[in-house]
């Protein structure tokens, strides 16, 4: 009410001002002189104002006719709605409204409504690059994958929306599990947008899954260049890929190329245990045991690991057990108190039949955080020192119910791997294996403890039988077998 009154007042004021202006113009003298084709016209003040208004009207009409001409040309070129759009300006407005409604429906999870709004917007606007996107998303939401795929293909055909189309089909192929096609699409998408982080990750995942290490290395470099990967992480992952390349070549033959790759991987990431072990073996094969020893010591300094100890032993395969103990002293003094150091030294002393020294090497490990391996070694020491069967059996029983100690565990799915691999065989994630105690180990040891009475009983039965037959040697065999069994249980397999 108040608003209408205000409008009327403003209207009256404008009319009054105009009348005042016209009166003022009539009273003033002078005017505008215009010369057209040699004839001079003199316009009075009121006439010049009217003349100016006519000029403005003529310019407006000219532009209007020009847009009509353009619309007609578009119509003749096949744009069916060009003319109707020209005559019906409200149409465009309704089109954008439908598009907005469609987007809103999409955001609120109403796929079908979004689809019908998209169809309406398409008809009114004739802007497929906008409406197709909405159609594709709505089709995905309603589970109409066929329609979505068709729309993505339409998006691919337009250069402005090609990336969105390729990405859409890529996502579809990934969810279908068609990795081969997905890999090709990811490569295509990355060629359009080389710095797109999500596509880089997808491509890298697919390449590592299909063991295309060379391709994965170039994708990793692209990630580094686009700044989406810290240099430290890049170095480690590149080393893993180089190592995987080396492993692949190594499975064919011990070629020079594989050795070079292994050494390269070790240089890229000196603390990567499998790379160090493999590079050391490559150096040994090349007849450079000094280089091998140096890099093993460096890796041991970063993380003591049984694989490194195995490789270190291979430096001199024919030495005596006593010589080996002396040679390992170099490694032992790097981390003298580390569990791995103590276990390795105890093992070496047992092999050299120096049982008191082996016991000293283990030290208080048995009282503190002993695992199956430590208890098994303890059993072997007791056996070597001539302790009674009951004592040895006691240690072996403890070994069975003790935690397994560190293993290669996937950080992502906690799957345990006997051997290090670049890609987790369970969940397919890349660079997630860590050498650590498995959180699931207690479960397996629980079953172990459950089985224990049966196993010990079986051993006792066999012993009694052996006693009856009065054959000492049999007894030794049984124990040897049990010790060996527990030993191979407690020790991770070397790569
Ligand atoms: Zn995993």
Asked if the structure places residue 248 within a domain, the reply is no
Q: What separation in Å is there between the alpha carbon of 432 and the centre of ligand 1?
A: 7
Give residue 315's Cα distance to chain centre. Answer: 38
Q: What separation in Å is there between the alpha carbon of 110 and the centre of ligand 1?
A: 36
Q: What separation in Å is there between the alpha carbon of 436 and the centre of ligand 1?
A: 14
- Of 187, 211, 239, which residue sits at a domain end? 187
Asked if the structure places residue 79 within a domain, the reply is no
The answer to whether 326 and 338 are in contact (CB under 8 A) is: no
Q: How many CB atoms lie within 10 A of CB 409?
A: 22
At a CB cut-off of 8 Å and minimum separation 6, what does 473 contact?
none
Q: What is the pLDDT of residues 298-341, one digit of tens each?
A: 999 998 999 999 999 999 989 999 999 999 999 999 999 999 99
Q: What separation in Å is there between the alpha carbon of 301 and the centre of ligand 1?
A: 27
Q: What separation in Å is there between the alpha carbon of 65 and the centre of ligand 1?
A: 68
Q: What separation in Å is there between the alpha carbon of 423 and the centre of ligand 1?
A: 8
Tell me which of 27 and 112 has the higher pLDDT: 112
Q: What is the pLDDT of residue 495?
A: 36
DSSP string, 134-198: HHHHHHHHHT-HHHHHHHHHHHHHSGGGHHHHHHHHHHHHHHHT-HHHHHHHHHHHHHH-TT-HH
Q: What separation in Å is there between the alpha carbon of 2 and the centre of ligand 1?
A: 71
Q: What separation in Å is there between the alpha carbon of 91 and the centre of ligand 1?
A: 55
**For residue 126, what is the domain's CATH number?**
1.25.40.10
Lowest mean pLDDT among 12-16, 252-256, 284-288: 252-256
Q: What is the pLDDT of residue 253?
A: 57
Q: What separation in Å is there between the alpha carbon of 416 and the centre of ligand 1?
A: 8
Q: Is the pLDDT of residue 445 over 60?
A: no
- Of 187, 206, 230, which residue sits at a domain end? 187
Q: What is the pLDDT of residue 252?
A: 56
Asked if the structure places residue 413 within a domain, the reply is yes
Asked if the structure places residue 198 within a domain, the reply is no
Tell me which of 256 and 123 has the higher pLDDT: 123
Q: Is the pLDDT of residue 76 over 60?
A: yes
Compute the average pLDDT of residues 382-411. Answer: 90
Asked if the structure places residue 42 within a domain, the reply is no
Whole-number mean pLDDT of the chain?
83
Q: Per the structure block, which two tokens stand in for 153?
A: 């293909």
Residue 484: pLDDT band with limits 50, 70, 90: low
Tell me which of 115 and 485 has the higher pLDDT: 115
Q: What is the pLDDT of residue 61?
A: 92
Residue 254: pLDDT band with limits 50, 70, 90: low
Q: What is the pLDDT of residues 87-130, one digit of tens each?
A: 777 788 888 999 999 999 999 988 889 999 988 988 888 888 88
Q: What separation in Å is there between the alpha carbon of 486 and the centre of ligand 1?
A: 27
Asked if the structure places residue 238 within a domain, the reply is no
Residue 474: pLDDT band with limits 50, 70, 90: very low
Q: Is the pLDDT of residue 159 over 50?
A: yes
Q: Label residue 436 left, alpha or beta by phi (over 0 means left) and psi (-120 to 50 means alpha).
A: beta
Q: What separation in Å is there between the alpha carbon of 16 and the centre of ligand 1?
A: 84
Q: How many domains does the chain have?
A: 2
Q: What is the pLDDT of residue 332?
A: 92
Percentage, residues of the chain above pLDDT 90:
38
Q: What separation in Å is there between the alpha carbon of 364 and the centre of ligand 1?
A: 34
Asked if the structure places residue 134 within a domain, the reply is yes
Lowest mean pLDDT among 34-38, 234-238, 349-353, 428-432: 34-38
How far is residue 93 from each of residues 89, 98, 99, 115, 412, measured CA to CA in Å?
Answer: 7, 9, 10, 19, 51
Q: Per the structure block, which two tokens stand in for 133?
A: 């996107």
Q: What is the pLDDT of residue 475?
A: 43
Q: What separation in Å is there between the alpha carbon of 220 and the centre of ligand 1?
A: 20
- How many helices and strands (H and E) does the chain possess? 23, 5
Q: What separation in Å is there between the alpha carbon of 426 and the centre of ligand 1?
A: 5
- Of 140, 170, 187, which residue sits at a domain end? 187
Q: What separation in Å is there between the alpha carbon of 430 and the centre of ligand 1?
A: 8
Q: Give me the helices (H) in 210-288, please.
A: 213-225, 231-252, 256-268, 273-285
Residue 30: pLDDT band with limits 50, 70, 90: low
Q: Which domain holds residue 176?
A: 86-187
Q: Is the pLDDT of residue 439 over 80?
A: no
Q: What separation in Å is there between the alpha carbon of 238 and the centre of ligand 1?
A: 19
Q: What separation in Å is there between the alpha carbon of 200 and the centre of ligand 1?
A: 20
Q: What is the pLDDT of residue 340?
A: 92
By CB atoms closer than 10 A (0-12, 13-18, 19+), residue 220 is buried
Asked if the structure places residue 410 within a domain, the reply is yes
H or E element: which one contains 116? helix 111-125
| 135-174 burial code (b ≥16 CB/10 A, e <16) | bbbbbbbbebeebbbebbeebbeeeebbbbbbbbbbbbbb
| 353-371 burial code (b ≥16 CB/10 A, e <16) | ebbebbbebbeebbeeebb
Q: What is the pLDDT of residue 465?
A: 55
pTM of the model: 0.62
Q: What separation in Å is there between the alpha carbon of 415 and the centre of ligand 1?
A: 6
């Amino acid at each position: 009410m108040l608003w209408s009154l205000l409008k009327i007042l403003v209207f009256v004021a404008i009319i009054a001002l105009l009348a005042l202006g016209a009166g003022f113009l009539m009273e003033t003298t002078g005017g505008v002189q215009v010369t057209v084709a040699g004839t001079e016209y003199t316009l009075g003040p009121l006439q010049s104002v009217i003349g100016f208004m006519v000029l403005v009207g003529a310019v407006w009409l000219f532009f209007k006719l020009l847009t009509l001409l353009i619309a007609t040309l578009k119509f003749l070129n096949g744009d069916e709605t060009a003319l109707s759009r020209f005559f019906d300006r409200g149409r465009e407005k309704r089109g954008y409204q439908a598009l907005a409604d469609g987007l809103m429906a999409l955001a609120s999870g109403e796929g079908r409504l979004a689809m019908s709004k998209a169809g309406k917007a398409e008809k009114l606007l004739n802007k497929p690059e906008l409406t197709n996107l909405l159609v594709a998303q709505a089709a995905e939401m309603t589970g109409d994958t066929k329609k979505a795929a068709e729309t993505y293909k339409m998006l691919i055909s337009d250069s402005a929306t090609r990336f969105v189309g390729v990405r859409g089909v890529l996502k579809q192929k990934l969810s279908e599990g068609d990795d081969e096609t997905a890999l090709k699409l990811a490569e295509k998408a990355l060629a359009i947008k080389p710095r797109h982080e999500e596509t880089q990750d997808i491509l890298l995942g697919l390449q590592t899954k299909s063991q295309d290490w060379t391709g994965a290395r170039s994708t990793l470099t692209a990630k580094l260049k686009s700044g989406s990967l810290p240099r430290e992480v890049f170095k480690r992952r590149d080393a893993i890929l180089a190592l995987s390349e080396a492993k692949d070549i190594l499975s064919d033959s011990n070629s020079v190329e594989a050795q070079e790759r292994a050494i390269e991987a070790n240089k890229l990431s000196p603390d990567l245990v499998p790379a160090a072990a493999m590079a050391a073996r490559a150096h040994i094969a090349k007849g450079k045991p000094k280089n091998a020893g140096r890099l093993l010591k460096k890796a041991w300094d970063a993380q003591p690991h049984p694989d490194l100890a195995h490789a270190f032993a291979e430096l001199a395969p024919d030495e005596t057990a006593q010589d080996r103990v002396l040679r390992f002293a170099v490694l032992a003094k790097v981390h003298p108190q580390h569990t791995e150091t103590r276990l390795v030294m105890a093992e070496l002393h047992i092999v050299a039949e120096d049982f008191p020294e082996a016991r000293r090497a283990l030290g208080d490990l048995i009282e503190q955080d002993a695992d199956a391996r430590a208890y098994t070694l303890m059993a072997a020491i007791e056996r070597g020192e001539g302790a009674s069967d009951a004592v040895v059996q006691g240690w072996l029983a403890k070994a069975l119910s003790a935690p397994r100690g560190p293993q290669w565990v996937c950080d992502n799915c906690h799957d345990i791997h006997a051997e290090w691999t670049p890609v987790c065989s369970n969940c397919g994630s890349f660079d997630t294996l860590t050498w650590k105690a498995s959180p699931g180990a207690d479960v397996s040891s629980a079953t172990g403890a459950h089985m224990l009475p049966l196993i010990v009983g079986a051993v006792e039965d066999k012993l009694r039988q052996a006693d009856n037959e009065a054959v000492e040697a049999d007894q030794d065999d049984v124990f040897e077998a049990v010790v060996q069994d527990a030993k191979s249980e407690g020790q991770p397999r070397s790569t």
